[in-house]
Chains A and B, each alone.
Chain A
Amino acid sequence: MSSPNPAQPAQLRQIPVMALSRWLREPLLHFLLLGAALFAAWNYFEPDLAPGAAATEIRLTPDDVLAMWTFFNSQWQRAPTAEEFGRMVENKVQEEVLYREAVAMGLDKDDTIVKRRMAQKLQFLAEDVAAAYEPGDAELEDWYAANADKFALPGRISFRQLYFSPDERGRQAYADAQAALATLTDQSVDTELAASFGDSFMLQNYYADRTPEQVAKEFGPVFAQAVFGAATGSWQGPVESGFGWHLVFVDSFVPGRQPAYAEVAPEVKTAWLAQQKVEAWRKAYDAMRAKYTVVLPVLPDSVDGLPAAPVASGDDQASQ
């Protein structure tokens, strides 16, 4: 592997001064700064592990001890006994001893699980940085305007349905529904005539104020589409569902609409944050990735099922 490029990521050199305040809000910068701070803190507070310190000394800090104590308390709703406390300390010591011995033996090297675990921690770290920033209302409103479709409120429908059951009528269900429709045309929904048609059904005869998703869950997506497309104020159909055939009478339809920002501000913030995390991770990774050159092997032609020369990603060149 080649050595990383020195110092700053390439982008940093090109930042105009005017953009600095915006840049200061960049999750990537926070990520890099936090990384540096963590490194410094680690060196400062972990003198035991610094080169030169006795590798065989294990020093527990008040935090370590407190953490164990608090943890026990939260788990068991009581303080540990002296014996339990001693055991916690011993466990901690054992973990530290085995960890150090393992590291000394190089067992962390080339261990897939260790590698992936650390890679995962780095991703969490990058995402955390994004979460630390508090957006202002104006910023969120702008973002909302650009992503309005994610917050559209669905339409709502109220309808009555008559069910023609294939369990009861077999293949006649459709024809029966059609015949019923002919009789019901121009009849009002409350007519007793309507009630005389159709089969009893354990789902409801009347559904009030339902979204397409709710109707689809109950009757299947095909039926939901048809009902939301049906004219209001008269019997319509036959409409097919996953259960059989129906006649529907749509009382009312409230079209979907775009809510005002204020109505959905908390949801907007949540969605914004989720996107920031994805972005923060992507940028952090891109910046780290940019430091590396990848050298891929050229495989002999004789290997079956593999391309003769692997394709390198990004700007990297396959070299020999």
Chain B
Amino acid sequence: MLDSAGKRRLSLVMAALAFCASSAVAETPNPERNAYFGETHLHTSWSPDAWLFGNKLTGPADAYKYARGETIKHPLGYDIKIDTPLDFMGVTDHSEYIGISKMANTPGSFASKLPQVQGLIMTDPNSKEQQQRAFLTMVSLFSQPPIKELMKPEVTGPIWKENISIADAANEPGKFTAFCSYEWTSQTANRNLHRNIFFRDCAKVPVAPYTALDSWHPEELWKWMDAQRKAGNELLAISHNANLSDGWMYPTDVDSMGRPIDAAWAESRMRNERLVEITQMKGQSETHPLLSPNDEFANYAILSVLLGLPATEGRINKLIGSYGRQALKDGLALQDVRGYNPYKFGFGAAADSHNSAAPYRQDNFFGGHAMEDGTAETRLSGHNFAGIDVRYESPAGLTGVWAEENTRASIWDAMHRKETFGVSGPHIKVRFFGGWGYDRDTLASEDWVKRSYQTGVPMGGDLPPLKGKSPSFVLWAIKDPTSGNLDRIQVVKGWTQNGQSFEKIYDVAWAGDRKPGKWTGRIPAIQSTVDIDEATYTNTVGAVELKTVWTDPDFDPSLHAFYYARVLEIPTPRWSTIQARQLGIAPPDVVPPTVQERAWSSPIWYTPDAKARKAAPQGMTVAELNKRGGVALDQASLEKLLVGKAIWLRNNVTGEQFKALYTKEGQSILQHIGSENEVPSLTGNVALAGYRGETTPYQITNGKLVTTLSQASLEITVYKLGDKYYAARSNEFGYANYEFLAKPPVFLNPLGKGETAGGGEDPHPGGA
């Protein structure tokens, strides 16, 4: 196929592929926006923990080289190279030690020679008097025209300054964007509350970053960010590893200071925390099978530990409050009941590698913690460090943005408006638009992207005001040309009613001729081509491209809702399977042998207007119960009602009827709940437990029935109103949604088709 000129050219090409230096041609901004993939979380030897892990070799400049496709050294000395070069990156070394100057701040330098400042010398800083004098000198000094020399940033942060100059050097508008960024590393009591801070413009960054040494409270970080913004220095925060936060990332009652969450707190959070990492090397933070029992793809990249917990200490990372999808659902409920939503964030994904470079592919996985996980032997022997068994690590994710051009401003603005998506490593591209007028023809037209922007909103946005019966969504995804084919696109929907929140997953586009289940609507699993022994797969199944226009078949205009797209690849071998084969050992059985790589779009939200909201079912609130003369049962009455009894309940939101049993020995169970039933948040997998007869302990304490869901205490208060009993769960925002049935239902699933049952009596009365 190649002529000789072609061959000569080819060798030039190969040289060029190896070294892509600067070029003169800049892209023109694309109003329909391009997908750019970038890294928003990476440590180098400049992070003190990276240095401790053994990365003494490479700094931020090397990290940018790696991102652009150059070969660099792993901290253990071997060569590493990225599969597909990135479009943008922000190195995020821990700020807590960036402020410590590289060169010791030369004592007694320039300032002490200025006569104006002699009043500042404090010989006894413990003396309140001297403090006062110094303070007053300072006030007088600063009320004069500012002394320029004093405002120079020499006093702080040469490392931070160097960080910025390296980012500036790596930044090439139109080709590669390097951000000024750092990590705020709040880690009190092993709870991961970390945030990465991204500045829009490196010319305006502060002299030093705000660190977790200044305060570990996110609320204080937001205050500082607000102050920066006010001074014209735009910035945003991306939280990460909610999955390792011990339930502290997404509170619904009190903030990190123990103060009740309110509208001001929610606004402050959303002003600053625009995105979350939905996945990274230390696990995904989308959801957990216990929170999403109906999501058959939730059992993916789970890591639940407390980082740095001593190997002999008995604390377990809490799941509730640690996952993004639940936070999105709680956000809707808070919005509906209390009028504010602190959790209206978009999705990105990243590495959190400490090697100045990250592995993005299962077949090019070299760990993320220098000598702690730098060889296949170390990894597969399950090296146990800092609370992590490294077999559980995943390859790094990436953040995709839809932006007009590859510049700091354009990409940062896309992050700020949440027009972003996360991928688990491969460069899967996904488009997601929501509106009221999309139909099949939308995708058929050449200018479908333009039309989609014109008549709706992209990922990260709010649906325009209600117009028509049900919102429709344009979905499109294309595979990474160097990775697995696509299995399906799903829409994950969340909604809220009467303080309860729900989720449902719709398969909307899929590869091949699989048929949705007649009643479930679910698409069966795609055939796996993975040969686990050989650690191979083939692209003989799956699709290159998937697209559809989907209309919500269950839309209720009176209820708050969100929608996001999830794209799944076909199954491929996990890195641990590939490397086990290389070592000639069995793949580790603590993790699955295969994975389905994926992409997550940021959500699109629907907010009912006042008129639509009025049409929502009223529901019974605790306040209403009290007003009508309802009385909360005390300890004795509650024990009499429940202990050693079975009761029948109806969830008045869903209409579902079920049985709850409470043994004298303190065990409980819920029965007759189906696996396709829409269960409210924090119910757990009650369908499975009820079917299998697996019980949960309960207690009756202080007039409340207390059960737990994976360490989270859920309290139920029972009210008596006339001859009726109502129950309110503590996580349902003031609603009493459960009504006691006067007698057991004769038919649990009435068909309405003339069924009979011997006069409606229990065929097996007690003692039979």
A113 CA to B121 CA, complexed, in Å: 33
Q: Does A202 contact B (CB under 8 A)?
A: yes
A90 CA to B127 CA, complexed, in Å: 10
Q: Does B227 contact A (CB under 8 A)?
A: yes
CB distance from B58 to the nearest CB of A (A): 10
Q: Does B52 contact A (CB under 8 A)?
A: yes
Q: Does A21 contact B (CB under 8 A)?
A: no
Q: Does B547 contact A (CB under 8 A)?
A: yes
Contact bitstring A100-120, B, C-beta under 8 A = 1, else 0: 000000000000110011011
Contact bitstring A264-284, B, C-beta under 8 A = 1, else 0: 100100100010000000000
Select the residue from A116, A242, A264 with max chain B CB neighbours within 10 A.
A242
Q: Does B754 contact A (CB under 8 A)?
A: no
CB distance from A110 to the nearest CB of B (A): 15
Which residue from B15, B114, B125, B481 sits with its C-beta under 8 Å from A89? Answer: B125
A123 CA to B52 CA, complexed, in Å: 15
Q: Does A25 contact B (CB under 8 A)?
A: no
Q: How many A-B residue pairs have CB under 8 A?
A: 254
Which residue from B20, B108, B208, B545 sits with its C-beta under 8 Å from A167? Answer: B545
Q: Does A293 contact B (CB under 8 A)?
A: no
Q: Does A155 contact B (CB under 8 A)?
A: yes
Q: Does B117 contact A (CB under 8 A)?
A: yes
Chain A residues whose C-beta falls within 8 Å of the C-beta of B543 in the assembled complex: 167
Q: Does A191 contact B (CB under 8 A)?
A: no
Q: Does A23 contact B (CB under 8 A)?
A: no
Contact bitstring B252-272, A, C-beta under 8 A = 1, else 0: 000000000000000000000
Q: Does B109 contact A (CB under 8 A)?
A: yes
Chain A residues whose C-beta falls within 8 Å of the C-beta of B6 in the assembled complex: 229-231
Contact A223 B138 (CB under 8 A): no
Select the residue from B48, B97, B102, B545 with max chain A CB neighbours within 10 A.
B545
Interface positions of A from 153 to 181, Cβ below 8 Å from B: 153-156, 165-167
User: Interface stretch among A2-10, A12-20, A72-80?
Assistant: A72-80
* Size band of the interface chain A makes with B: 35 or more
Chain A residues whose C-beta falls within 8 Å of the C-beta of B207 in the assembled complex: 70-71, 74
Interface positions of B from 239 to 262, Cβ below 8 Å from A: none
A265 CA to B14 CA, complexed, in Å: 24
Contact A211 B23 (CB under 8 A): yes
A209 CA to B478 CA, complexed, in Å: 23
Contact B126 A93 (CB under 8 A): yes
Interface residues, chain A, with chain B CB atoms under 8 Å away: 38, 41-42, 44-46, 57-67, 69-71, 73-79, 82, 85-86, 89-90, 92-93, 112-113, 116-117, 119-121, 123-125, 128, 149-156, 165-167, 201-203, 209, 211-213, 216-221, 223-226, 228-231, 236-237, 241-244, 253, 255-256, 259, 264, 267, 270, 274
For the complex of A and B, 10 pairs with smallest distance between CB atoms: A242-B481, A154-B16, A220-B481, A45-B107, A124-B102, A45-B108, A67-B155, A228-B13, A60-B122, A62-B120
16 extra interchain contacts, Cβ-Cβ under 8 A, other than A38-B104, A154-B23, A211-B20? A45-B106, A60-B122, A62-B111, A66-B111, A70-B151, A71-B207, A76-B224, A77-B231, A82-B135, A85-B135, A128-B103, A151-B22, A212-B17, A229-B10, A231-B5, A274-B61
Residue pairs across A and B with Cβ atoms less than 8 A apart, 16 shown, are A59-B125, A67-B156, A79-B138, A113-B52, A117-B97, A167-B543, A213-B85, A216-B17, A219-B481, A229-B7, A229-B10, A231-B6, A242-B483, A256-B12, A264-B22, A267-B21
